Every structure is written in C-alpha cells, then in structure tokens.
Chains A and B, each alone.
Chain A
C-alpha cells in the first residue's frame, strides 16, 4: 500500500500532544493510519489520475500566526456572519445569531459533548491519508452547532485563508484547518466556505457535517487559492431522516486541488444535492471526487458537475454512487460535463454506479467535448464576434450548474465569482455585472 510514503506533511506539524483523552486517542489512531498508508500514488485507484509527486517533494513547515482576511470581490456584498480561519486558526468571530454555538478547536480540551462525541467520527482516517494527517495535525479550526429547531437566516461565511512563502521561497507552509458543523433536528442554516491565500502553501482541510432529522444545510464552497497552492479538502457528510443537504463547489484556484465529498445517507427521505463547477487554466490540476452512500431507502441524490478546462489544465472527476441492498426506491442522478477549450487540456472522468437494490432509479452520464459549432454560428450570424460568442456560451454552460444553488443571494455571488474568473481567463468575457 505505502508508495513513496513521504509524510513530510504530517511531521511538519508536530502532532499536538496533551489535550483531552478522546482527542489524543483520535490523534494517535490518525497518525498510525497515516504512517501505515503513506501518501497515495497513482497506483492507488482513488488517486489514479492525480499525481502527487510535486506535493510529495515538499517539506512544508507548520503555518503560524494569523493575518487579516479580505473577502473576494464577488462576495463583498453578501450579507453574512463572518468567521475567519487564518493559517488554520480561528482568528475572527462575527456576531453569531441566537441558537448557534461555536467552539474554537485550538483548545478542544474543554469541548462539550457534541464536539467530543462527533469530531473524527464522520471523516474516516483509515482509508484517507490526508484526512488522517489533518486529524493528527490540526492546530485549530471551528466547530459550529445549530441548535434544534433554529432557523439561521443570515449565511455564515467561513473564510479560510493561508499565507505561504512567496513563490520561489525555500519553504512551503502547511495548514490543516478543521471544521465541524452539527445541524440539529429541525434546524436550518447556510454555510459559505471561501478558501483563499497567498504564496506557496498546502491547505489540507477537513470538514465534518452532521445533519439531523428534518434539518437543512446549504453548504457552498468557493476555492480560489493562490496559484502556487495545493488544496486538498475532504468534506464528510452524514444525513439523518428527511434532511436536506444542498451543496455547491466552485473550484478555480490552486496549482493542484482535490475536492473530495463523501456522504452517508443514513436515513429515509433525504434530499442530497451536490453540484459544482471547476474552471481551470494554465497548468492547473483540478480533481473532484465524490462518493454517495445510499444506505437507506427512499432517498434522492442529485449531482451535476460542469468543468471548463483551458490551456494545459487537467480535470479529474470521479463520482461514485453506492446503493446498498436495503436502499430501495433510491433516486440517484449523476452527471459530469467537461468542456475542453484548448488542445492541451485534458479530462479524466469516471462516473461509477454500484447498485445492490432492484427497485431504484439510477442514472449517470458524462460528456466531454468542445463548444457546439452550431451555437457559435447562431451567435456569430447575429453579429457577435467569435470571441464574445465563445465566452457567452462558456458562461451559459457554467450557469446551468450554478443555477442549482438553492439560496438566492449566495447563488448570485457564485455567479459573479464564476464571471470574474472568465473575465480574467477567457478572451471576450464580459465584466461580471454584464452577465
């Protein structure tokens, strides 16, 4: 199993000792798991298309200190309660609404039960080395609890920022931000997660999400890390009866990113929605891996990912739906569409179904290609330049995924963020307000 088990990432941040018993036990197991498996190589099926050699060559040091974090332009006007995680440490807490409890994970010794009983139980460390490294190394983070029946109107804006060395600097830093969100029965909230940074660094983030009965969480992530950054993220979700999870990920940053979302649908009548867009250019490598475990009957999952790959960008999509024998009446939909805009761009797509129940409706699809000539022609025949027509079509293409975001002001912020990316990287794209 262990291929080239460079664990510099782990040892760079000395696993914090002390702390509560539950925590030291959790960390010991995690470190043992990380040491056992090492960092995955391309012979590991789950990492087949994402080569980590560049990451393995690093010997990062622990990120220290905190810095001011500014909102990306697209999110400037979003009304939200801000939480800042700078270099993996909680550095700012806005005014939280009633019914929302916060625990700073920098000092979890006195953590209440809802933290100590949950943290580390959703994101497994055995099969996932980076999660193990995070669990063994996190020095800070935030745990949020939306209390039973609480309806949080204002989105919570979690701004995760890492300051690395200047590109070309000798050393890279590594941060391991940790997030836990517990949405109790009947509660509802929206979490907007922004990942930004400067210089060269590794952001190895883990988020655990627990959604109670009849609860709802909107979870919208925008990853716009620095060009020299590595972004490795694991989001692990567990849903109970009749809950709703509406997630979206817009991935535009980092030289190499892996956004993995794993969910267990552990109750009936769950609505699980996970959509996203990945926009990459230059030499970026962007990996989206998702796993949905339909463990109980009567649940629906919806997944639509759209990718735009320009220049020499390399996109990876691995999606798997598992329907267990007991999970009858499952309705699963999964679609990945990728648009290749250049001769050097590349996509690897692996949508996978594993089904053990007969009374289910599952479908998946994948398409790869370039823009339709007919559509270009249609626009150009109406006097629009080729460049502009192309940009319009790309924007419309990405919009289909962004439309899936259920929360309106958030949706518009993401639309602007996508438009900003296109304006920067696609010739002919209009300024964001023009879309």
Chain B
C-alpha cells in the first residue's frame, strides 16, 4: 500500500511544477480584427493573395459551417467557445523572402532555442531534417529546400503551394477531408491560415525526414493549420510534426486539418509529438485541440502510418484515420496519450476498409493521472467488398491515482464474412510489485514509475523515427517528471 500512497503523493507534488515551455515572444503582429464573418475570410484570403477559387471554397465552407452544430458526443467538457471572440489571422510582419536561417528574425530563432528545437543545429547536422518552421500562421523559414528540389520533392507552405502548384492543390485539397466533413474541419476550411504542402513525385523516396514545428504564439489566436501531403505512385515520405506552446491564461483554440493521399505503392509515415500547454492543475487555460487528420490509401499496396505522442493540450479531440480504398493497402495507428491534472483526451482512429486484403493495426496506450479523463474512441469498418480485410486493435489504459478515468469506446462494423477483426483492451495500474522490484534495485519512485510507463508505451515509441524518438522520450520524460512520478 505504501508504494501506491507514495506514488499518488508524488504525483500531487510534482504536478505543481510549472509548464517548462511557458514564455511569450514579443513580435510585431499583423492581425485581422477579432471575430468571424465573411469579411474576416476575405481579409485572410486577400492577405494571402489567393486565387478566386480558393476564396469561393472558403466562403462555401463558412456558409456550411454556420448551419452546423458543435459536436458534443466526445467525452470532454469545456465552457462554450465564443467564436466571435477569437482572432483568425495573425502573422509576423511581412519580411522579404529569406534564403537562409541567418535572415530569420533573431527573436524567433531565440524562441526555438528556448524550446530546445535546434533549428541551427539541424542544419549543421548532416541534413537529416528539413524544417518548415511555422511561427503562428505563416511559414517563415524553409530549409533544405534546394536539396529537396533536386529530387523533385515539393515541401512548402500551403499558401506558397497555392501559387506555385495550383493544379495539385486544387485537385487534392478537401479530397480526403471534405470542407463540410465536421464542425471543426469546416471551420478550418473557411479560415485556415497556413500549413505545409508536400508532394513526392512518382518513384521518389524522400531523401530526408520532413519536419514542421508548429508554434502557437499570439494571444487569443485560433490556429487553423492545413496540411496536405500527396505521395505519388511508389513514393515514400516520413513527416514529423511537433508542437509546444507558451503559457497563457485564456484558452486557445486549435482546429487543424491534415490530409494525406497515397497512390499506388506509396507510403506516408506521419509522426506527431504534441506538447501544447495543458492548462494549470485546475484546468485553467490550456489549448483546445480539435484536429481532423485523415489519410486516403487510394492506390494499391499503399500504406499510411500515424504515430502520435500526445502529452499536452487541455482538450484533445483527434482521430487520425485511414481510408483503405486501394487493394492490399495498409493503415496503422500507434498512439500514446498522457493526460494529467484536469486534461481531457478523447482520441482514437478510424480504419475504413474498402479494398480487398486491406490490413490495419491499432495500438493505443492511454495513461491517465490526476483528475484527467482519457478516452479511446475508434471505429473499424469493413465494407462489403473488402475481401480478406484484417484488423487488429489493442487498447491499453494505465491509471495512476483513483480520481482519473480511462475509457474505451470501440465501434466494430463488418459487412464481409472473410474479414477478420479483433479488438482487445485492458485497464491496469502500476502494480506494487513492479514498483518494488525497481526500487529494490535502487531506483527512486519517480524513476521507477518513469521506467514502467516507458515500458508500457514501448510498442508505440519504437514506431517513431529515430530523430523524433529522442524528443518524444524527452517530452514523456517531462510529463513523467511533472505528472507521473
């Protein structure tokens, strides 16, 4: 019993710790006035010098959004969001286009350094990672563009892509997540400010891992990122997304949309580490993270793999999904979600099997501490024509303390007898035996809990790309230090 009591006490003690990444950068902002109407959308579109079709697309989405109701089926609670009390556009003041990092606002670079994102270092470090760093809404630094260009890989901000590759953007934007897909995606379609666009041409294996660090900065700025990744036949890309945000008292809304398209034999690996401000121990402040992520395996033998490590945000509402259209296509979802204090996470995935012999794997690890609620919500649907489809789902929950909750809500729908769908879920706590074993070998409670939780998440962590795994472990480390023990 003592060990348990210790753990709980320790959790309480360490949760008092302030968010490490809480600081604010002062920088000139070019803002749209608060509130949302067609004028705001025209303002954003004009700022970005967008073509007419895109403005129309945005306005159509906005009009649909006005007819929609905010969903309330997720197991999260929050005060009503006043969509008129938000800024929908904030960009660092316009600077001339940059050729290298040296030309970037030094204050921006300093912010990244404080976050421990070694942008400069990465440039030096053998060109493993290209960073399309997003500061608030506008991409200001794109590195390794030239190297990528050599392979024909397009990696740019989506606003640039609208100008440079209008055909590609027009063809794929909204083709996976339609503008009116759901309330938050629809809002995003109307007001999205920036994000990344990636196109890997036929047969190209992207020479490096692509990485974007999203950074929420301006106070009261809703962030509406839009990411579109297209892997043409036989292409491969690994995309990394990592986030941290400064401490704020007011809730910040984040409604991103990510669309992935994989054609024949293409593979997209999308990894996320999310560490936005979770709010204080009473849940005050913190990011509302309402994200729509979906990938379409359009081609035969294509593959889309989602890996996420979710440690931040006051509310996480996120279901990275795969539509397995192509025969023999593969979808994967690996997730670690850690909630602590008053955090609420409702996350999971959808695997829609349409093609023959499609396969999907879902591994979800939920860790709940403090008074947090952690829900896995997932759907596995097998269509009539999905001969020989195969799914395996495993959802494990770990509870730390007796005031938190862990929930599992899987939906399984099968219309094909040759399909095989398996779901299993367990709920457990850190056993006293495990703690005792570690501690009798000289580990502190904190280290022991850290070790055990890391072991619990191992299956997911090993899916992360090497460069990212280090950071992810660090982030889990911080969450563990600051939340688990």
Which A positions have Cβ atoms within 8 angstroms of B? 45, 325, 328, 338, 340-343, 345-370
Given contacts A349-B412, A350-B411, contact A361 B421 (CB under 8 A): no
Q: Which of B403, B408, B417 is in CB contact (< 8 Å) with A364?
A: B408
A351→B417 contact, CB < 8 A = no
Across the interface, which residues of B come within 8 angstroms of A340, CB to CB?
Answer: 414, 416-417, 419
Main secondary structure of the interface of B (DSSP, over half): strand
Contact across chains for A364 and B401 when beta carbons are under 8 A apart: no
Q: Which residue from A325, A343, A352, A368 sits with its C-beta under 8 Å from B408?
A: A352
Contact: B417 with A342, CB < 8 Å? yes
Write the B388-421 contact mask toward A (1 if CB under 8 angstroms, else 0): 0000000001011111111111111111111111
Q: Decide: A354 near B411, CB < 8 A? Known: A343-B384, A361-B428.
A: no
Partner of A363, one of B73, B413, B425: B425
C-alpha gap A352/B395 in the complex (Å): 11
Q: Are A359 and B402 in contact (CB under 8 A)?
A: yes
Report Cα–Cα, A420/B363, bound state, in Å: 41
Instruction: Tell which of A347, A358, A362, A363 touches B404, judged by Cβ atoms closer than 8 Å.
Output: A358
Does B462 interact with chain A (Cβ within 8 Å)? no
Q: Which of A341, A352, A362, A369 meets B409, CB within 8 Å?
A: A352
A357–B419 CA distance with the chains assembled, in angstroms: 35
In the complex, residue of chain A having the shortest beta-carbon distance to the beta carbon of B403: A325
With both beta carbons as reference points, the residue of chain B lying nearest to A350 in the complex is identified as: B411
**A347 contacts B424, C-beta separation under 8 Å:** no
Query: Cβ of B419 and Cβ of A369 under 8 Å apart?
Result: yes
Known A353-B408, A355-B399; judge A45-B73 contact (CB<8 A).
yes
Given A362-B427, A363-B425, A364-B425, A370 and B403 contact (CB-CB distance below 8 Å): no
Interface contact B407-A358, CB-CB below 8 Å? no
Known pairs A340-B416, A346-B414, A350-B412; A325 contacts B427 (CB<8 A): no
The chain B residue with its CB closest to the CB of A316 is: B413
The smallest C-beta distance from B338 to any residue of chain A, in angstroms, reads: 15
Interface band, chain B: 35 or more
* CB of B188 to closest CB in A, whole Å: 25
Q: How far apart sit A45 and B382, CA to CA, in the bound complex (Å)?
A: 20
CB-based closest 3 A-B pairs: A340-B417, A358-B399, A369-B420
Q: Could you tell me if A368 and B421 are in contact, using CB atoms closer than 8 angstroms?
A: yes
The answer, among B397, B402, B419, B426, for a CB contact under 8 Å with A368, is B419
User: Measured between alpha carbons, how far is A345 from B415 in the docked complex, in Å?
Assistant: 6
The 13 listed contacts between A and B (C-beta, < 8 Å) are: A346-B413, A349-B411, A351-B423, A351-B425, A353-B397, A355-B397, A355-B427, A357-B399, A361-B427, A363-B427, A366-B421, A367-B420, A368-B419
Contact of B429 with A by CB under 8 A: yes
> B residues within 8 A CB of A357?
399, 402
B426 adjacent to A369 (CB under 8 Å) = no
Q: Which residues on A sit within 8 Å (CB–CB) of B409?
A: 350, 352-353
CB distance from A286 to the nearest CB of B (A): 15
At the interface, yes or no: B422 with Cβ under 8 Å from chain A?
A: yes
CB distance from A263 to the nearest CB of B (A): 19
Q: Contacts A362-B426, A363-B425, A368-B421 hold; do A328 and B402 have CB atoms under 8 A apart? A: yes
Q: Do B410 and A351 touch across chains, with their CB atoms under 8 A apart?
A: yes
Q: How far is the CB of A352 from chain B (nearest CB, A)?
A: 5
Contact B402 A325 (CB under 8 A): yes
A355 touches B405 (CB 8 A): yes
Other than A343-B384, A348-B412, A360-B429, give 20 A-B pairs with Cβ distance below 8 A: A325-B403, A343-B417, A345-B415, A346-B415, A348-B413, A349-B413, A351-B410, A351-B423, A355-B397, A356-B402, A358-B400, A359-B402, A362-B427, A363-B426, A364-B424, A364-B425, A365-B423, A367-B422, A369-B417, A369-B419
Q: Can you name the residue of chain B whose Cβ is closest to the Cβ of A367? A: B422
> By the criterion CB–CB under 8 Å, are B73 and A370 in contact?
no
Is B424 within 8 A of A363, CB to CB?
yes
List of A residues within 8 angstroms of B410 by Cβ: 349-352, 366
Q: For A348, what are the chain B residues with a Cβ–Cβ distance below 8 Å?
A: 411-413
Q: Give CA–CA (A348, B418) in the complex, Å.
A: 15
CB-CB < 8 A to A366: which residues of B? 410, 412, 421-423
Whether the Cβ atoms of A368 and B412 lie closer than 8 Å is: yes
Point out the residues of chain A lying under 8 angstroms from B404, CB to CB.
Answer: 356, 358
B419 cross-chain contacts in A, Cβ below 8 A:
340, 368-369
| A191 CA to B408 CA, complexed, in Å | 33
CB-nearest residue of chain B to A341: B417
Q: Which of A350, A353, A358 contacts B429 (CB 8 A)?
A: A358
Provide the bound-state CA to CA distance between A353 and B427, in Å: 9
Q: Which of A341, A349, A363, A369 has the most chain B CB atoms inside 10 A of its CB? A: A369
Which residues of B have CB within 8 Å of A355? 397, 399, 405-407, 427
CB-CB under 8 A from A347, the residues of chain B are 412-414
- Contact check, A368 vs B414: say whether CB atoms are below 8 A apart: yes
B405 pairs with A354, CB closer than 8 A: yes
Nearest CB in chain B: distance from A51 CB, A: 14
- Chain B residue with the shortest CB-CB distance to A370: B417
Known contacts: A358-B402, A359-B402, A366-B410. The answer to whether A343 contacts B425 by CB under 8 A is no
Which of A356, A358, A361, A367 has the most CB atoms of chain B within a 10 A radius of its CB?
Answer: A358
Q: Is the CB of A354 within 8 A of B407?
A: yes
Determine the residue in chain A with the shortest Cβ distance to B374.
A355
Our pick among A325, A342, A364, A367 for the contact of B421 (Cβ within 8 Å) is A367
CA distance A357 to B404 in the complex (A): 7
Which residues from chain B contact A45 at a C-beta distance below 8 Å? 73
Partner of B423, one of A346, A356, A367: A367
Complex CA–CA separation, A325 to B412 (angstroms):
28
CA separation between A367 and B412, bound complex, in Å? 9
